[in-house]
Amino acid sequence: MMAPSILPVDIGDEFSARAESLGKERIGIVDIGSNSVRFVVFDALARSAHTVHNEKIICSIGRDLGATGMLYKEGVDQALEALRRYRLLAERLGVKVREAVATAAARDASNGADFVRRAESAWGGTVRVLSGTEEAKLAGEGVIAAIPDADGLTADLGGGSLDMVVVKNGQTGEAVSMPFGPLRLIDLSKGDLDKTRQLVDYELSKWLPLRSLDNKTLYLVGGIWRSVARVDMLREEYPLQILQSYTIPYNRAVELASVLAKQGKKSLENLAAVSKRRMELLPYGAIVLQRLLLAAKFKDVVVSANGVREGLVYSRLPAEERGKDPLIDYATIENARASRSPLHAMEMFNWATPLFADENAYYRRLRLAASLLSDLGWRRHPDFRTRGTYSEVLHMPFGGVDHKARCFIAACVYHRYAGDDEMPEDLRLTGMLDKAEEKRVLRIGLAARLAFDLSASSAGELGHYRLRLTPSKVILEIPKRRGAIADDAVGKRLGALGGAFDRNAEIQVLSG
């Protein structure tokens, strides 16, 4: 993953500016898709926007569109009722910036314009009908917001269309929209799966950019493909149930898509990972994925929880805000929101740096994130502080990391609270970290544990003490006038830290 572009040198100012914006620029987004209508409220127009509210209704306005050319009447009525509800919620939540978009079904139906007029009346604002390429590019922006170094193809599968865009170097490139949403395919193929394959293959063969994407990554956006990923998690007994950045190797993805494309309703009913609402559509989504994977030999498949809605927020940001590291920006805000003394985190990061002279940019960034998140658990009950904080960090909705890096950060925070105790089996995520990384997270966590004992999380305290690493010792230098700080607990913490570095520990009391 990427190294940070902007480090939070002054966390206090960073948070003050963000806090000033909260409640003043909440942004509410309505996404009217072929299968669902969703309403999301973000707390601010910012790099690390937090979700205040998120709900959807499955109304399938695109059902029968291929056969009738018109929107599904019952679904339209449900959608309009939902929009009236969303309008009231937006007012109650104090949303200052509103945006509503409609996608494939509304743009393709003969009665789409009439529906949009009625939707605008229900919502109380403009509804922008996105073109297929606009939809693709916004989905790509959403992926880039969470995965800044994305390199490959973003594919957003909605109920009515497959929208694809090339992503590289933080930018979107060539884009295309194809009428391959599962609802549309059911109509076009008359339920014939072989015909579905033929339709998809024919259109994919005409899009030339696919030929240059071998060994790149395919980024999946959309609820149907998230269901596919959940099935893979279940089959693999994957230990971390987080879809964002979940990665499936190419060959396994081809095999999985091929299997799901052949499943009947009864077989799908036995898959706990698939909701009943998705069962009818899943084989068609699996066929699209299978044919796409066979059209270009991607390196792997990565799931993105972000899509058009997050892309709409990200596309509004100024260049400086877009350039922030999503992991460090999120951790900075969380530190400022929840820590006892936000400035302490950067002081601790710098104070412990002499112990990590071998650290490359990748691990330095993760240690910084762990430092920023290391005091989130102070309000928790002591009996649940270690486990609760570990779980909170592990499942935080930050971007910019894969699952290995996520586990690394959470494990650092675990050891900050647990000390050198071995992580219990029910918390261990087997296979995520190698032996060297397990040792590294222990060292980072124990250094933080010592720092909090010395400082009680107070800003300005750690500067009085110095850590040094020699070939045989971890040394803590303490000025004589502060010698009382070195009680038994500090000695124990330093001893554990020394042991983690395979060295003796020594406290040196300096004159002056």
Cα–Cα distance measured from residue 112 to residue 300, given in angstroms and rounded to the nearest whole number: 37
- Position 350 scores a pLDDT of 97
Helix or strand run (H / E) with residue 227: helix 223-236
pLDDT surpassing 80 at residue 511: yes
CB-based contacts of 383: which residues, under 8 Å, 6+ apart?
none
CB-based contacts of 263: which residues, under 8 Å, 6+ apart?
282, 283, 286
Residues in the chain: 512
pLDDT surpassing 90 at residue 269: no
Q: Grade residue 17 by pLDDT with cuts at 50, 70 and 90.
A: low
> Which alpha helices (DSSP H) does 109-222 contain, by range?
112-123, 132-146, 182-189, 193-206
Cα–Cα distance measured from residue 266 to residue 279, given in angstroms and rounded to the nearest whole number: 10
Helices (H) and strands (E) in the chain, counts: 22, 14
Percent of the chain with pLDDT over 70: 92
Cα–Cα distance measured from residue 321 to residue 2, given in angstroms and rounded to the nearest whole number: 16
Least confident span in 101-110, 214-223, 264-273, 353-362: 264-273
Structure tokens at 375: 């005091």
Which phi-psi region, left, alpha or beta, contains residue 419 (left: φ > 0; alpha: ψ -120 to 50)? left
- Position 265 scores a pLDDT of 63
- Position 420 scores a pLDDT of 82
- Position 13 scores a pLDDT of 55
SS3 per residue for 190-204: CCCHHHHHHHHHHHH
Domains of the chain: 24-129 (3.30.420.40), 133-310 (3.30.420.150), 325-510 (1.10.3210.10)
Structure tokens at 169: 């170097």
154 in helix, strand or coil?
Answer: strand
Contact present, 256 and 228 (Cβ < 8 Å) = yes
- Position 188 scores a pLDDT of 86
CB-based contacts of 248: which residues, under 8 Å, 6+ apart?
229, 232, 256, 300, 301, 302, 303
Residue 301: name the closest of 376, 378, 232, 357 by CA: 232
- Position 6 scores a pLDDT of 38
């647990």: which residue's tokens? 418
Q: Grade residue 8 by pLDDT with cuts at 50, 70 and 90.
A: very low
Give the residue-averaged pLDDT of 119-144.
97
> What are the Cα distances from residue 229, in Å, to 151, 163, 301, 305, 430?
20, 19, 10, 11, 19
Across the chain, mean pLDDT equals 91
Give residue 80's Cα distance to chain centre. Answer: 30
For the stretch 386-420, pLDDT in tens is 999 999 999 999 999 999 999 999 999 999 999 98
Model pTM score? 0.91
Cα–Cα distance measured from residue 464 to residue 371, given in angstroms and rounded to the nearest whole number: 19
Contact present, 416 and 369 (Cβ < 8 Å) = no
Helix or strand run (H / E) with residue 405: helix 403-418
Helix or strand run (H / E) with residue 40: strand 36-42
Contact present, 377 and 390 (Cβ < 8 Å) = no
Contact present, 275 and 227 (Cβ < 8 Å) = yes
pLDDT surpassing 80 at residue 136: yes
Residue 160: name the closest of 230, 80, 226, 224 by CA: 224
Give the residue-averaged pLDDT of 467-490.
95
Residue 80 has φ and ψ, to the nearest 5°, of -65, -40
Residue 43 has φ and ψ, to the nearest 5°, of -70, -20
Q: Grade residue 186 by pLDDT with cuts at 50, 70 and 90.
A: confident
Cα–Cα distance measured from residue 369 to residue 204, given in angstroms and rounded to the nearest whole number: 41
Cα–Cα distance measured from residue 391 to residue 242, given in angstroms and rounded to the nearest whole number: 12
Give the residue-averaged pLDDT of 456-465.
95
> What are the Cα distances from residue 66, in Å, to 59, 72, 155, 164, 189?
16, 11, 21, 21, 9
Residue 168 has φ and ψ, to the nearest 5°, of -170, 140
For the stretch 23-74, pLDDT in tens is 458 999 999 999 899 999 999 989 988 999 999 999 999 988 888 999 999 9
The β-bridge relationship of strands 466-469 and 473-479 is antiparallel
Q: Grade residue 270 by pLDDT with cuts at 50, 70 and 90.
A: low
Rounded to the nearest 5 percent, the helix, strand and coil shares of the chain are: 50, 15, 30
Cα–Cα distance measured from residue 27 to residue 146, given in angstroms and rounded to the nearest whole number: 18
Cα–Cα distance measured from residue 347 to residue 188, given in angstroms and rounded to the nearest whole number: 62
- Position 272 scores a pLDDT of 61
Q: Grade residue 20 by pLDDT with cuts at 50, 70 and 90.
A: low
User: pLDDT higher for 373 or 12?
Assistant: 373
Residue 341 has φ and ψ, to the nearest 5°, of -145, 95
- Position 187 scores a pLDDT of 86
345 in helix, strand or coil?
Answer: helix
DSSP code at position 109: S
Cα–Cα distance measured from residue 52 to residue 482, given in angstroms and rounded to the nearest whole number: 46
Residue 77: name the closest of 115, 103, 39 by CA: 115
